[in-house]
Structure 1
Amino acid sequence: MTDPDAIPAAAARQRTDGDAAAALAMLAQAAAEAPADAALALRHADALHHARRLTEAEAEYERAIALGEAGFDSWYGLGMARAARFAYPRAVEALYEALRIDPAAAALRTTLAEALFQTGAVDAACAEYAEAIRTGNAAVRAAALRNLACIIPGAPGADHAAVRAVRTAWMQAQPTAPRRAAADATGRRLRVGYVSSYFGRPNWMKPVFGVLNHHDRARFEIHLLADGDPPSAEGGFTAHDEDRIWSIRGAGNARIAAAVADNRLDVLVDLNGYSVPERLGLFMLRAAPVQLGWFNMYATTGSAAFDALIGDDAVVTPAEEAFYPERILRVPGSYLAFTVNHPAPDIVPPPCLAAGHVTFGSLCSAYKLTAPTVAAWARILHGVPGARLVLRNSSFGDASNRDAIAARFAQHGIAADRLAMDTPAPHLDFLATYGRVDIALDAFPYNGGTTTTEALWQGVPVLAFDGDRWAARTSRSLLCAAGLGDWVARDAEDYVARAIALGRDAGTPARLAALRAGMRDRLAASPACDVAGLCRALEAIYLAEHTAALPRG
């Protein structure tokens, strides 16, 4: 039998020499030969974790803890392994235990915060990031500030001032240029550059592709700065010979800024927002005379490096503009007007016609399932005793995430048999889930965007309310533009009351059937799908902003 005391050092030497597989094999053999050795179990778990054999690593960390190796390293490793395989509620349990053992472990808090966020505990996640900023080293503080800036608009407890303060702190940490690029007054076609990491994700880009396909190439030269895959015809993008597609994946902001300046782009439009916060640094370098944010913006960027953000009358009130260093420009209708150029299932009759009860549903991401959202949905289910709730998102591939949601509803007295939690599926099958939903319930304070457009396109009305921030009004924007403003409640109390009334009303099945009939034709004729009109409005903004940026005198 191998001397177990010598194994960890020998395995460490092999890993240092680059032979991780040999180190793992040595530790596996030693752990099998000494099954009661807790320290070996921990080292074996670490090696499995390093090899990305996460399920096995989790089991081995648990075995090490059961054998008595229950210190910080075991609980931290267990939490990290669970988080890496997206078992977020169980990761939170382990990471809290590690933090109890070592409250000074600031780096741990960033992983804990991410796991909390992914469970919908956004306020708690913000608190952990804030503590990491307060106590961590420079690298930890930077990472925590970045992530906090990303998630804070969806935190129920955050207000406009908090969002601006956090995002301003993040943007001020980015390199800046001493002055803005000069506007070109030669009268040539206006050069517009769009920056996105998601051109290759057509289901996310319905408003963007609608606009790009309608640009007037006689007046505008279009540049697509793609951080990921480029747009494709299969995704609904219509290519034009004059367009230029830049691959900027992996390129630094300074290099891209130099290319923007060299190519004399007049207007640079960010489509990412804080989905890709590092790329916001490109705009701090002021390579284009006009810099705008559109599409994935639903709060301030925190920086006047953006001349303006583009929204509509539904999402930002005049009084709220004081919390934006950027100007707010508004387009008619919805700033998210969309077109569907990818495959989608046919609309089917509302399931309540056959089921005899209303089925509510939401296909939003798990991080939008905040405590106020779950509480409101539980109240709705209590108010409509026969109703069911269908949920589906990518996190439900792990049983622990489904169990955690069921437990949260159970805390409100809702039995698990009233919930259906579907596992992930290809996009077409995912959309088919709407065939089992009568009424979609919007999440808050982070509404649906893509989720709302897809529900409507599948004939399912979305019940929302007029929230307290831009992120909480994106569904209002789409519903009002679609002629469905009566599905926007005044506030959260009215939202719950309306859902209960709809669920109990004997006339609801007939109303829903009539609504679904011809839904796509009505949508296509409404401002919600007027992508040509949105394109003309954006072009007018680009021209006006460029004119305003021209040198005077």
Structure 2
Amino acid sequence: MANMTKECWKLYIKIHDLWKMGLFHRADDAMGALLEAGGDQVSKAQLLGAYIKRSLEDVLGELAILESLEKSGCTDEPELKGTVYSMLGQAYNTIGRADKAVESFLQSVEHEEEWQQKLVEYSNAVFAAASLPDTDKEFWQTLYEGYDALLSEGNVEPYTPKPRSHHRIRIGYLSSDFRQHPVSSLLWPLLDKANNKEFQIFCYAGNKDEDAVTKSFREKADVYRQVCGWTHDKIARQIHIDEIDILVDLGGHTSNNMLPVLAYRPARIQLSAIGWVGSTGMQAVDYVLGDEYCSGSEQQDAYVEKLLPVKNSHFCFHIFKKMPAVAEAPWQRNGYITYGCFNNFAKVTDDMLKLWGQILSKVPQSRLLLKHKLFDHETGREYTLKRLGKCGIPADRVELRGFSEDYLQQYGDMDIALDTFPYTGGMTTFEAMYMGVPVVSLYGDSRGQRFGYSMLMNMGLEDMTTSEPAEYVEIAAALGNNPDVVADLRLQLRDMVKASPLMDEAGYAAQVEQLYHQLMDGKR
């Protein structure tokens, strides 16, 4: 690699400005001139090309540039290595290579210089690892211990609990998703149905973008604090000043999380809930919320926290957006069954694709409908079709659709939804069933591998879930070979969802508040 010449620098500035203005195609077209002028030997110039490919949703194009930068070692600007590995992790995760994603994010941790960014990249690694098949207790313990050890490098001083000077129990909810987002749908019942005589609700919002849902939370919370841009220690200081009794983190290791705030121990009791499938890995977190179905396994000792189960479901959904009417089962107009999955495609492992291929082989003329932003670009579609082919799924039996805002209406093109594993669906599973689409789910031992199982059990649909891959295939195939049953479920599922614990907002809030009382009384 080399330093940037004057000509290169002028082209770089021009292309960077085009990119910043949102003129992505023009910026991409101009990259050729920059590379020919010597930019192909300059890491910073190549990295700009990767950012442009990302903006164009060309993940494979981005990945090719990043892999070249990794191979070169960014010898001219070694400080870029952390960014290169972070972007590699995100690109690998998008195409379903969780193994490479975890490896890349951990490499980014090693090359980043700032402690805060190291924590971000480590969370990225933990998040990607949730999609890895065949992980065991030792793997997760090692990963979690690494995060907690990294936290200790920040010389965080925990707060000493203050004497209570208030009567109502103060609950603090910490999230970057107080907006139209699955976390807000799941949290809303705990605000809207809160017992205001006994509880005082504080919201600490890390999201910059706001919408009508944000406004609802602002109006409903007793105290709503916008903490976007604050340092973790400043947020913790405010929580401590507010005398929060129970602090609930809603993000875990998902993007834009504020987990490091909990390392300061700003609240008496701290727990993880709703937004994350696994453990936080933090000794400073006391509990993780679950339910009798997803927290009932004996194989969850990799969790650092104590499991805190509610009866029935620890997921209770409030619908903020207008939901389309349930459409007729598409097999009635198509003459064949359409299976589908609208989950984040990063969750789809090769093992699951092979099971889906077996399902298609057992149901004549059936099709598979997949939807994800990866399929917005031709290279992403080509890559995926090759991957599907290797897993036994013929291209002529697959339809790939890119991201779109009308995805709910597109459940009208799906007869049966196939859940992912080991990272199972949450909001996606709920929405599919609310739109009249039955879901078949495979479950495992850990809490995050049992979300689909929990929801189906709470719906009284225990026959739609199994822990055995072969049975998963048989259940989905048997359902596909009985289209009349699919049509009947289509008409019943929305009412079943509404009548289930999945939408019993008052009952859910009362259960969680009972747990809060028990925590405060030291009975847990």
With normalisation by structure 2, the TM-score equals 0.88
The one-letter amino acid paired with 1:367 is A
Considering only aligned residues, what root-mean-square deviation do their CA atoms show, in Å?
Answer: 3.1
| 1:474 lines up with 2:471 in the alignment | no
The one-letter amino acid paired with 1:85 is L
Question: 1:340 is paired with a residue of what secondary structure?
Answer: coil
The one-letter amino acid paired with 2:382 is D
Alignment of 1:531-542 (within 5 A): 531-542=505-516
Distance across 1 between alignment mates of 2:483 and 2:336: 9
Contact 1:72 1:102 in 2 (8 A): no
Question: 1:391 is paired with a residue of what secondary structure?
Answer: strand
The one-letter amino acid paired with 2:138 is A
Map of 1:122 onto structure 2 = 98
Map of 1:155 onto structure 2 = 132
Map of 1:213 onto structure 2 = 192
Task: Give 1:525 shift.
Answer: 1.6
Post-superposition CA distance 1:165-191 (Å, at most 9, x none): 22332233334334542463x671111
Q: Which runs of 5+ in 1 are unaligned?
A: 1-6, 13-22, 28-41
Quick one: structure 1 residues 253 and 383, their matched pair in 2 at CA, closer, same or farther if it must change by over 3 Å? same
2:174 to 170, 195, 199: 195
Q: Which runs of 5+ in 2 are unaligned?
A: none
Which stretch shifts more, 294-303 or 169-178?
169-178
Distance across 1 between alignment mates of 2:90 and 2:137: 22
| 1:89 lines up with 2:60 in the alignment | yes
Map of 1:55 onto structure 2 = 25
Map of 1:181 onto structure 2 = 161
Distance across 1 between alignment mates of 2:425 and 2:215: 22
Question: 1:275 is paired with a residue of what secondary structure?
Answer: coil
Post-superposition CA distance 1:327-368 (Å, at most 9, x none): 101001111122324200011221112222110011111211
Task: Give 1:419 shift.
Answer: 1.8
Distance across 2 between alignment mates of 1:223 and 1:231: 17
Map of 1:328 onto structure 2 = 307
Contact 1:75 1:97 in 2 (8 A): no
The one-letter amino acid paired with 1:82 is K
Task: Give 1:110 shift.
Answer: 2.6
| 1:513 lines up with 2:484 in the alignment | no
Alignment of 1:224-373 (within 5 A): 224-228=203-207, 237=216, 243-276=222-255, 278-373=257-352
Task: Give 1:491 shift.
Answer: 2.0
Contact 2:341 2:418 in 1 (8 A): yes
2:122 to 140, 145, 148: 145
Alignment of 1:41-52 (within 5 A): none
Distance across 1 between alignment mates of 2:404 and 2:18: 28
Task: Give 1:248 shift.
Answer: 1.2
Task: Give 1:70 shift.
Answer: 5.5
Distance across 1 between alignment mates of 2:209 and 2:73: 46
With normalisation by structure 1, the TM-score equals 0.83
Quick one: structure 1 residues 94 and 457, their matched pair in 2 at CA, closer, same or farther if it must change by over 3 Å? same
Task: Give 1:150 shift.
Answer: 2.8
Contact 2:170 2:244 in 1 (8 A): yes
Post-superposition CA distance 1:105-142 (Å, at most 9, x none): 743333222110111110121123344455x3534865
Distance across 1 between alignment mates of 2:400 and 2:182: 22
- The number of residues matched between the two structures is 510
Distance across 2 between alignment mates of 1:358 and 1:472: 27
The one-letter amino acid paired with 2:6 is A
Quick one: structure 1 residues 95 and 354, their matched pair in 2 at CA, closer, same or farther if it must change by over 3 Å? same
Higher radius of gyration, 1 or 2: 1
Quick one: structure 1 residues 183 and 351, their matched pair in 2 at CA, closer, same or farther if it must change by over 3 Å? farther
Contact 1:233 1:239 in 2 (8 A): no
Distance across 2 between alignment mates of 1:373 and 1:241: 42
2:6 to 4, 9, 19: 9
